[in-house]
Structure formats: C-alpha cells, structure tokens
Amino acid sequence: MRHHSRRFRLLAASATTALVLAGLAPTLAGGSAQAQDGTFAPRLVTVDTPTRADKELLQTLGLDLTEHAGHDYVEVVLHTGADLSRLVDAGLDYDVRIPDLTLRAAQNNKVNEEYAAATLESPLPSGRDEYRTLADYNDDIRELAAIRPGIAKRIELPHRSLDGRTVYGVEIGRDVQKAEDGRPTFALFGVHHAREWPSGELAMEFAYDLVKNYGSDDRITGLLDRARVVVVPVVNVDGFELSRTDGGVIDLREADGGGTATILGTPGNAYKRKNCRIVDGQDTPDGTCRAGSATSPGGFGTGVDLNRNYGGFWGGPGASDMFADPTYRGPAPFSEPEIQNVRELVSSRQVTTLISNHTFSNLVLRPNGVHPDTIGPDGLPVGNAPDEEGLKALGAKMTAANGYRNIHGWELYDTTGTTEDWSYNATGGYGYTFEIGADEFHPPFPQVVEEYLGSGEYAGKGNREAYLAALENTVDTATHAVIKGKAPAGATLRLRKQFSTPTWESSFTDTLDTTMKVGSRGSYQWHVNQSTRPVVMDKLVQITEDEPVRTETIQGGPTTIGQSVDHPFSVTESGIDVLQVDLDWPTPDDMDLEVYRKNADGSLTQVGSSGNFVNEKERAEIAAPAPGDYVLRVINFASTAPTYTLTATLFDSTLVDSEEVPGLIENWTMTCEVDGKVRQRESVVVDRGQRVRVDLSECGRRR
C-alpha cells in the first residue's frame, strides 16, 4: 500500500492528536468501541480469513464487506451491535481498524477544511480543493460542454433514478457533436457505491484533463482524434446525494470549558453503500429515499448493491438474495434504473476499454470475479477469462503508473453481477475495477489529489497516467477488431447482435446495437469489438490454490520516536505471487512500514509501504516480488511500544489441474441503411486484433 505524504500525515494528525490527548483514544484489537453518547459506534474491522472457506463463511453473514481484502483478511463495516454479534457468533477473529467511523469522518472534514483554507487552487486539472456535491458534478459537466462544445458534450442518460434524478455524463472527442464515425470508446464510471466519493472525483478530473489539454498536449490530442471518451462520474446519484450531504456535516466541536471534543452530527447515510430502492421490486414516490433509509442504520440495509445487479454471472457467489444484505443483487439482472443506464450506454457504443472506479484497496481488478474452479451455471468450472494474458498486461501498465496491485477480481473475494464481468463477457471490451486509495471510503481530500497525480515514486503518474494507458488501449487495434470497406456516403451502418446469456439461476436476453455514419468519401473504417463474446469462447480452466510458501517472523524493539530500524529479508523462491509484510505492536500508537528492494550497488528502491493513521496496524503487499534481498523498515512515527512484531509471508498460486473447454463462434449482423431502409445485410465474423473488409457498395444501388 502507498505511504501518505508527510504533509498529509501532519495535517491529519492535528485533529487526531487533540482527541487522543483528550482521553478519547479508541479501543483496538477486538475490543468494543462506543460513540460518545454511549451508542454503538459504526466501525471498520479487519476479519481474519486464512482459508477460502473462511471468506465464504464471512460472505454468508449479511455484513457490509468492503473492497479491502487480501489473502487472509477482509475488511468489514459493522453498523450495529447485531453486526458485531453475528461476526463473533461465527467464530471469526477480527481487529478493529477504525473504531468510530463517525469520529473519523469528523477528523477528515477538519483536514478538508484546513486544506481548502490553505489552498487557493489545487494541482488537479479543475483546481478543486474539496469534494464535490452532486450539484457540483452536474454544474461541472455543463461547464465543460459549454467551454469547449467542439470536443465535449453533456449526455443525459435515459433512465431517471428511483428518487427522480437525472443522471448526467460527458462525452469527449474531436467533432463530438457529429454522428458516430467509427472510433472506439473508452468508458469511465464512478460512484456505484454511494460512500466512495473519490471514485467520482478522479473520473471528473480526467474529463477536465482531456478537455483542458486537447490541442495543447500532443498525446491527449492524438488520442481524442482517434477515440471518444464517455465519463459518468456518479452512477448512483440518489445514494451519493445522501452520503455526501450527511458526511459533509459531521463536525468536531469542543465541549464547554474547551476540554473534551464532541461531534456535531451523526453518520446518517455517510457510509451508505446501495441505491435508494426502499421496497424490494417496487418504485416509491420521488424524494422518499431519505425517509426510507432512516429505517436502516447507515442506510445500508435498504437498496440494491448496484455492482451486483449487472447481468454477467448475476446471482452467483458474492451476491446476496436477501434485500437487507449489503450485497443484495436485486430481484433480477438489470432491475435497477442506474444499471440500465450503464447497460444501454455500453451496448450502444463500441466500448473497447472500460473502468469502473471504486474505493478502497489500491487494486486494479480484472475478470473474472469468481475463482476459476467455481462451477458455473453450465456445470463447468468458470475458468480464467479467455483474454487473461492481454487483460493482465494492460493491468500491469496501469499499476506501473499508480502503484496498485494487478489481480483478478476473485483474488479480493468472489463477486458476481459486477460491471466488468458483464461488459467484458458481453462485448469483449477490456474491463476493470479500480479500488482507489489505501485506507478508507472517502479519505481527506489531499489524498484524492495524490491518487490522481501520483506521489512518491509515482509522482507525475498516478491514476491520470493509468487512465491514459487505458485510453491508449482503447485505440490499439491489437486489442480490438477493425471492419473497413466501401459504402454510400451518408449511409448509416449498424452492427447488431442479440443473444441469451445465462445467469446463475436462468438466463436473460441481451442486445448490442451500435451505429456509425459513412463519411463523404464513400469509405468507412469501424473500430469494433470481436464478434464472439468471451463468455462463450474457448477457455482454459485452471484450478489453483493460494498457499503460503514461507513465513518469517521478526521480533523487534524498543525504538525511539522519529527513528527507524531496518530488517533484512530475502526472497529466494521464483514465481512468487505476493510478498505480504505485516507490522503489529501492543499499544495504540503510530508506527509506519516501508519495504525496499536492495539493488546490486547496495542502493534501495522502495517497492511497498503502509502509513496508516494512529492506532492502525500496517500491512504492505508487493505483487510478484523478484528473487533477491529486501529491507523491511519499521518507522517509529509516534510510538512508545516496547516491542513490535514484523511478519513476512510469501504466497504462491499453485496449479492443481487444467482443462481446455471448447467454445462457440458468433457473428455480427451488419446492415447498411439509406433513408431509414436496410439496403444490404452481411454476416461478419471477426476476432480480436483482426481486420476484415466488407464491401457495402450494393447498398448504394437504387432498388
């Protein structure tokens, strides 16, 4: 995980230190924590899941699982005492990581206020220095389209939200006001989960970046000449409006006499996850979401988890069929209007690359969402994605820019009904989930700046460079297909495909329907996805098991505040998937962890770090560590702990068995239309990386 800049740590510490000195230091390591009024404090805990069976058990408890997980842990939000009881009754061990999320939100708001007060204009493309509200997003989209209408236009998605709101996006590209002209599309989404504010911020900043720099930055100009970009920063508009509104009013105030700090406000919906479906399968009058959410602590019990509602693998592992569960999948695939919006947008364009932003965990996740040896609805193991090699390679380019881990979705934990599992398997366009940030759902705003622009060894890169790498993949003809030929000038060409897709319980009918307009020269070139969907292609089923290869434990201490201690560690094994380093200590103090690779000349290159807040233990994960010597550096930031424990564990994915499963070949139906009438129809079979010529001259002859 990435280490926060020291500037950010000092800002955050100003709020935290005051609370600790006031005697409000929270209880750790499995102890209970209460809010200041004596009620249960919503908290973030790390649940030990040393085996796959433990993760599967955890997913049956109806708890609010985050996207922060590893080989042997999953972080969970406990909203109520009943949540805690279910966890304890299941016999799963846990540690408290953030004892009071309300207090944390208040601390973060204080840091945000200090940053905004001290910052005239941030380094972000928009210059923003604080989180946007929903109204801010809508205003920014409108402004971008007004400033440069030749390359940016506002799009209004067809389905209003359950509370009656319109969902807006922005489409960016050269001559964007003109009809589709055969260029491929990069789609970027944010805020499927209401509480994940940075996911929308980074999407919106990338839109600003493109619009601002088109014409002056050669790289951006060249990419927007060859592609279109569609950004929808807030998919879950209702949930975000509640989360952002409630989360923004939690404030720290001093009690009478200036002694004990108190909190003004309650968490309300600050940590809401789902959308505003109040009654399962039924619509309710517009504007009733807040009242309906009040019946559930944190608003997490009502609604549909939008990132479990997509049709791909809908209803399988990692998605609940119980309405009150945080991962409730909905009564049917694509039942929710917000997800219908995304489906229709992707289905109407040739989206060759897609990213769905989330928080948190510093991960880039790729299909599939379930373990390869999971038996799918067809009775066969799901296996790896047919394009595993290409998906992994692009993931590596993106993680080289942002420092995240490049892994399969199932390596977090099993999920089904997610954005990229549907989009990739239905269209063939590469799809990913970004889990932005190391620590929490909506951290202090300075961290958003760092996540976009990069910091430390990733300074000047970050997610900005990762998104640009995705946009470069969008136009790379090696990762999609091209159809070209002659056709009447001004004719409308259409590629269409309708098919039945199995869910875990039945099936649904899906349709891809895209068009382009032929230019004045009477020839066309259309960048498209392959004709055969990945879900029905040949696949190699590999059954693997993640096993610890070796564990080494180091006892250290005492240390001096402000000093660090280096411990040597050697990776002698080849082909290791992950080096996981954990730092633990017995008192509620603040220590940090950094991991370095020792170079041949004796110099050190940082490969991992963990710099959490006070009271939080540290963990760094290094993907695919090369054999060699490493240094594990323990930094005493503010700790009087007499000892500490450093644990280094190497994990490897062991191949148990493999099998080749034959697939199908599908075609596009291509038509040429003049004056609304189909004059020529062709069947087109095309593979990824292939170019085919289809002559549509017949379409121009009078009939």
Active site residue 388: no
| Nearest CA among 456, 461, 464 for reference residue 592 | 456
CB contact at 8 A, 596 and 633 = yes
DSSP β-bridge partners for residue 464: none
Cα separation, 110 vs 535, in Å, equals 48
Q: Where are the beta strands (DSSP E) in 4-106?
A: 43-48, 64-70, 73-78, 94-98
Cα separation, 642 vs 433, in Å, equals 41
CB contact at 8 A, 436 and 405 = no
- Give the dihedral of Cα atoms 528, 531, 534, 538; nearest 10 deg: -140
Choosing from 411, 420, 435, 450, the catalytic residue is: 435
Q: Which residues of 48-57 are buried (b: 16+ CB within 10 A; e: fewer)?
A: ebeeeebbee
Contacts of 38 (CB under 8 A, 6+ apart): none
Q: Which residues of 96-113 are buried (b: 16+ CB within 10 A; e: fewer)?
A: bbbbbbbbbbbbbbbbbe
Q: Residue 358, Cα to own-chain centre: how many angstroms?
A: 3
Cα separation, 597 vs 12, in Å, equals 29
Structure tokens belonging to residue 296: 């559930």
| Three-state secondary-structure class, residue 11 | helix
CB contact at 8 A, 533 and 426 = yes
Contacts of 494 (CB under 8 A, 6+ apart): 513, 514, 515, 670, 671, 672, 673
Burial class (CB in 10 A: 0-12, 13-18, 19+), 449: buried
CB contact at 8 A, 349 and 424 = no
Q: Which amino acid is at 378?
A: D
Structure tokens belonging to residue 614: 């006070």
Cα separation, 328 vs 318, in Å, equals 9
Q: CA distances (Å), 655 to each of 77, 389, 396, 675, in order?
A: 34, 16, 22, 57
CB contact at 8 A, 100 and 392 = no
Active site residues: 435
